[in-house]
Structure 1
Amino acid sequence: MAAKKEKPIHSLIAGTTAGAIEAFVTYPTEFVKTRSQFGGQREAPLTIIRSTLREKGFAGLYSGCSALVVGNSVKAGVRFVAYDHFKGLLADEGGKVSAPRSLVAGLGAGMVEAILAVTPSETIKTKLIDDAKRPNPQYRGLVHGTASIIRQEGIFGIYRGLFPVMMRQGANSAVRFTTYSTLKQLVMGSARPGQQLPSGITFGIGAVAGLVTVYTTQPLDVIKTRMQSLSARQQYRNSFHCAYRILTEEGILRFWTGTTPRLARLIMSGGIVFTVYENIIAVIGDRGS
């Protein structure tokens, strides 16, 4: 199937909108996933939800949400613009993009988004969630928390865990885009030329892409969370040391901690993001053509 090259501004608008909506809708699952990945005593997802509701109320499940919504909207915008750009560069003379080339385009998009958007927002979000479980939290929201982190640790304080984030985002985007584009091409093969897929089908394909992504990249997500926690500097020298300690002290299964809430989020995330993106592109693409 020929690869249609979207205008960067259209990809940016559709991507940022899709990212913001997805982040807000799915944030409680992200909160539970992050809390479960911290070191110390293991907490089951339902235990985290019950204790948070009891101690902080429903708003407690949205601790650090603003950091993720802002970061996720920028991330999604950058991701789709970068992916469309790389996909255009890698398309053959007929405009087709093979699965291996789609994988490379996704990998490139993931690396770009990790540097420009994901690492700062993920670091701030993780520290806000880690801080929120303390009896007397020191951060009073996104702006105060960001300013405090930079004041205490410098600008590199919000770039802690850059390497595992780059690895995770590269793998995330490579797996998700390749799975999505491959399944979409299979489905479109039986559709009429020029026919747009129904939103339900798009959501289903995106959800499957999210499912595949979770199980293949979860270890990188756990390492990323540990490296961005408040106690990371005291516990780990670098990402490899973090992975070694988790493996030797907690066992290999610890790398898949938080799979259930992350699975719930990425299945919804894949469905929401691709559905919103495709529908916005269909509207503004037609108007801009």
Structure 2
Amino acid sequence: MAQATVTTTNLTPSPRAGLETPKRAPKQAQNSPLVSLIAGATAGAVEASITYPFEFIKTRSQLRSNGQSAGKSPLSVLRSTIAQDGLFAIYTGCGSLVAGTALKASVRFFTYDSIKQMLSDDRGKLSPARGILAGMAAGAVESAVAVTPTERIKTALIDDAKGARRFKGTTHAIGLLVREQGIQGIYRGLLSTTIKQSATSAVRMGSYNVLRTEYQERLGAPQAVGTFAIGAVAGTITVYATQPFDTLKTRAQGAQGEGMLVAARSILLDDGFKGFWRGSTMRLGRLVMSGGIVFTIYEQVAAQLRGLKW
């Protein structure tokens, strides 16, 4: 008697036609502390070197001249500076800012990436609120470690160059300020700088995080051009949201130095409420370029470093 052949079939239900498992956004790459430090320092140094003339003109326009508000347009400041002291005068204080920017950018990205990894979900994604929180913390740390002393020296050099010319250079300025005012003279404007830096970093890093996440989910990981555009938009948002903090910080860090309340009062007396936005045009020019440059270089250098075997 012949045996009956039984054909077994796969009883596992197959997905219905036309239905696919939703794709999850790729997990965002995480940077090690060393990668964050090196990539941040490189990005900061390059960005500061390229955009320094914008910073010089912005700072000069915010400072008083012989006790009075300068009241000059950015082009007037540029023309008068070149006419009086030559083209290279617009790089007065540049060395201090480049060194300081390299340090502060490395500290900023190290702090931001460290906090980001603690607050991110399993795909490395950071919510807008947590992105702002991480940026605020990064700004506070970089202010205390690097920004306040380097910005103080840069601002004092620019302020001194238009009048008394007591300072012969960065080293001489540091020594003279310490002798006359003590170590606190180098940290003049710490409170206003920390407020400004925390707000700036929170807006800048927070908006960049949101824009980059949206871009990556819709179009994939951004290349250099996309990163530059995202960084430029983040820079634009940052300028108008935080300019009053920057103007207040500059007044507090002039050659003589002013308390924060005195600086705020002098701005109001000189130019009224709109005076808090003095220098925003040149800062916009710098931060649009700065945002594009620093994030592009940071992402490119970090990507190269992640591919190395340490």
Instruction: Please give the range of the TM-score, normalised by the shorter of the 2 chains.
Output: over 0.9
TM-score by length of 1: 0.93
The one-letter code of the counterpart of 1:85 is: S
Match of 2:188 in 1: 160
Q: Which amino acid aligns with 2:240?
A: Y
How far the C-alpha of 1:198 sits from its partner, in A, is: 1.7
Gaps of 5+ in 1: none
For residues 37 and 3 of structure 1, the distance between their equivalents in structure 2, rounded to whole angstroms, comes to 40
Aligned twin of 1:231:
256
TM-score (norm 2): 0.87
1:259 aligned partner, one-letter code: S
Q: CA deviation at 1:95?
A: 3.7
For residue 225 of structure 1, what is the amino acid of its counterpart?
Answer: T
1:264 is aligned, of 285, 288, 295, to 285
Distance change >3 Å, CA 75–CA 53, structure 1 → 2: same
Give the aligned partner of residue 106 of structure 2.
Answer: 77
Q: CA deviation at 1:91?
A: 1.9
Matched with 1:188 is 216
- Identical residues among aligned pairs (%): 46
Question: What is aligned with 2:145?
Answer: 116
Alignment counterpart, residue 46 of structure 1, candidates 72, 75, 80: 75
Structure 1 residue 94 displacement after superposition: 5.1
Q: Rg: which structure is higher?
A: 2
- Aligned length, in residue pairs: 281
Q: Which amino acid aligns with 2:145?
A: L
In 2: Cα distance, 1:202 partner to 1:65 partner = 26
Structure 1: how far apart are the matches of 2:123 and 2:236?
31
User: Matched residues in 1 for 2:309 and 2:112: separation?
Assistant: 20
Check the 8 A contact 1:3/1:97 in 2, yes or no.
no
The aligned counterpart of 2:10 is: none
Distance of 1:5 and 1:247 partners within structure 2? 45
d(CA) in 1 for partners of 2:123, 2:290: 32
Match in the other structure for 2:229: 204
Pair 1:64-2:93 in alignment:
yes
Instruction: Name 1:281's counterpart in structure 2.
Output: 302
- 1: distance between equivalents of 2:157 and 2:263? 21
Please report the RMSD computed on the Cα atoms of aligned residues, expressed in angstroms. 1.5
Q: Are the aligned partners of 1:22 and 1:272 in contact in 2 as well (CA < 8 Å)?
A: yes
Paired position in structure 1 for 2:46: 21
Does the 8 A contact of 1:3 with 1:91 survive in 2?
no
Q: Which residue of 2 aligns with 1:32?
A: 57
Gaps of 5+ in 2: 1-24
Shift of 1:250: 2.7
Partner of 2:7: none
The 2-side partners of 1:202 and 1:169 are apart by: 22
